[in-house]
A = this chain, B = another copy of it.
Amino acid sequence: MPKASQRSLDMPASPIRKLMPFAYAAKARGVQIYHLNIGQPDLAAPPEFWAGIEGAMGRIVEYTDSAGIPSLRTASRELYAAKGIELEEGQLMVTTAGSEALLFALMSCCNPGDEVIVPEPFYANYLGFAVPAGVKLVAITTWIEDNYALPSAAEFALKITDRTKAILICNPSNPTGTVYDKAQIEALGAIAKERDLFLIADEVYREFNYTTSSIPSVLQLPGMEQNAIMVDSVSKRYSLCGARVGYLCSRNAEVMAGALKFGQARLSPPLLEQLGVESATKTPQAYFDNMREEYRARKDFLVKALSGINGVVCPRIDGAFYAMVRLPIDDCDKFCQWLLESFEFQGSTVMLAPGTGFYATAGLGKDEVRIAYVLKKENLEKAMVCLREALAVYPGRTCEQAVHA
């Protein structure tokens, strides 16, 4: 029997999805599950998206340009320009979601064996792209006690070797909810420029900003035209996770030429969703304002609810819609599985993403989980009650029973 490849064995199972078989089993037993494991908003996409789909009904379902439908590219560049990010034709490519944009960025910047420095905890799937790309993620640990603050540029500099090709950040951060400010991004940019590295920024949560400052894009750093690469997606912004439409943007022509060739091999992103997204570029600002305020309210509720549970540590959250939380537990992988297999409260349980999958450093994150606060407040409320009750009875709990609020 022929053996599967070593790299397929090396691939990490997604901490966000690997427990799905246990979730299906729980559902089959009739247990209701509050899904806090995945950044899947429960909000409706803007009606403009559906107008675009409606307008496409019955047409020939063609391949599009490998870089995306030209009119979508134009409309998207206009949106970025309105945010102060000027891009010329050829500097923006539509991808099959942010996932593909990240993979293309790593493939275009790095050869197998190259290193990319990334603050940890990081979005777990970065590992899932690093393995197929043959790239080594070199992590700099950030800490819940500091609200997962970005390490200093000097700390990044210490990690640079002759195999380092890029620094990768996510701003606002999935999974920590940290927002990096202009001075921090500029300092990182200076290091990247000085050491001739790419600075890749995953900016898909740009609109989910609970601070009073705007989120700086790496594409706005002066003098960084050849170094800065932005990864973006419509998944969160328009509540279109299933649409699989994203962007890779850079002014580095070589990187964009490489990405386009990877894109030609896979032919094109999905047609209908591209047409929907093109129409959705006309979404009024009120949609985003309402969404942000909805998530701010959920975030405020979550932080308060968590702080009311004995032994739980929740950091300050400034952006995105995740919290990387410390729980009074022995082992997050065991706990998350136990929640699905052995626990229910009033017919319900909660699904969380084990923290370990968000770290490259072995042993870190064992008492952490990522919570995606993507549910309506009433469901979030029930989920928090579930979590509190679960922590009170979990056999591997490491502190006294949770205090009932």
Which interface residue of A108, A267, A271 has the most chain B CB atoms within 10 A? A267
- On whether the beta carbons of B265 and A243 are closer than 8 Å, the reply is no
- On whether the beta carbons of A63 and B40 are closer than 8 Å, the reply is yes
Q: Across the interface, which residues of B come within 8 angstroms of A17, CB to CB?
A: 66, 264
Lowest 6 CB-CB distances: which A-B pairs, in order?
Answer: A8-B258, A128-B265, A242-B271, A14-B264, A11-B261, A4-B254
Given contacts A4-B258, A258-B8, A272-B242, contact A18 B53 (CB under 8 A): no
Q: Across the interface, which residues of B come within 8 angstroms of A9, CB to CB?
A: 258
**Closest chain B residue, CB of each to CB of A265:** B128
Given A11-B261, A62-B242, A272-B276, 17 new contacts (CB under 8 A): A2-B165, A2-B252, A5-B108, A5-B110, A5-B258, A8-B254, A13-B261, A14-B265, A42-B60, A43-B60, A44-B58, A64-B242, A107-B132, A125-B267, A243-B272, A272-B272, A273-B273
A261 touches which of B8, B97, B114, B257 (Cβ 8 Å): B8
Q: List 28 A-B contacts (CB under 8 A).
A: A1-B196, A1-B227, A2-B166, A2-B198, A2-B252, A4-B108, A4-B255, A7-B111, A7-B112, A8-B259, A8-B262, A9-B258, A12-B261, A14-B265, A44-B58, A50-B57, A61-B239, A62-B241, A64-B242, A96-B244, A96-B270, A100-B266, A107-B132, A125-B265, A125-B267, A128-B266, A242-B271, A270-B272
CB distance from A248 to the nearest CB of B (A): 12
- On whether the beta carbons of A97 and B266 are closer than 8 Å, the reply is yes
**Closest chain B residue, CB of each to CB of A13:** B261
Kindly state whether residue A401 has any CB partner on chain B within 8 Å: no
- On whether the beta carbons of B254 and A268 are closer than 8 Å, the reply is no
Distance between Cα atoms of A49 and B271 in the complex (Å) = 14
A270 touches which of B103, B239, B243, B264 (Cβ 8 Å): B243
- On whether the beta carbons of B257 and A8 are closer than 8 Å, the reply is yes
Given contacts A132-B107, A267-B99, contact A239 B60 (CB under 8 A): yes
- On whether the beta carbons of A108 and B261 are closer than 8 Å, the reply is no
- On whether the beta carbons of B53 and A262 are closer than 8 Å, the reply is no
- On whether the beta carbons of B111 and A265 are closer than 8 Å, the reply is no
A63 touches which of B49, B50, B133, B241 (Cβ 8 Å): B241
A112 touches which of B112, B264, B269 (Cβ 8 Å): B112
Interface residues of A in 62-113 (CB under 8 A from B): 62-66, 96-97, 99-100, 103, 107-112
Kindly state whether residue A20 has any CB partner on chain B within 8 Å: yes
Given contacts A4-B252, A258-B11, A262-B11, contact A50 B58 (CB under 8 A): yes
Kindly state whether residue A169 has any CB partner on chain B within 8 Å: no
Q: How many copies does the complex hold?
A: 2
Given contacts A63-B241, A226-B1, A242-B271, contact A111 B258 (CB under 8 A): no
Q: Across the interface, which residues of B come within 8 angstroms of A271, CB to CB?
A: 242-244
Distance between Cα atoms of A262 and B6 in the complex (Å) = 13
A111 touches which of B5, B166, B266 (Cβ 8 Å): B5
Distance between Cα atoms of A196 and B129 in the complex (Å) = 29
Kindly state whether residue A153 has any CB partner on chain B within 8 Å: no
CB distance from A201 to the nearest CB of B (A): 15
Which interface residue of A5, A13, A99, A196 has the most chain B CB atoms within 10 A? A5
Kindly state whether residue A360 has any CB partner on chain B within 8 Å: no
Kindly state whether residue A329 has any CB partner on chain B within 8 Å: no
Interface residues of A in 37-59 (CB under 8 A from B): 38, 40-45, 49-50, 53-54, 57-58
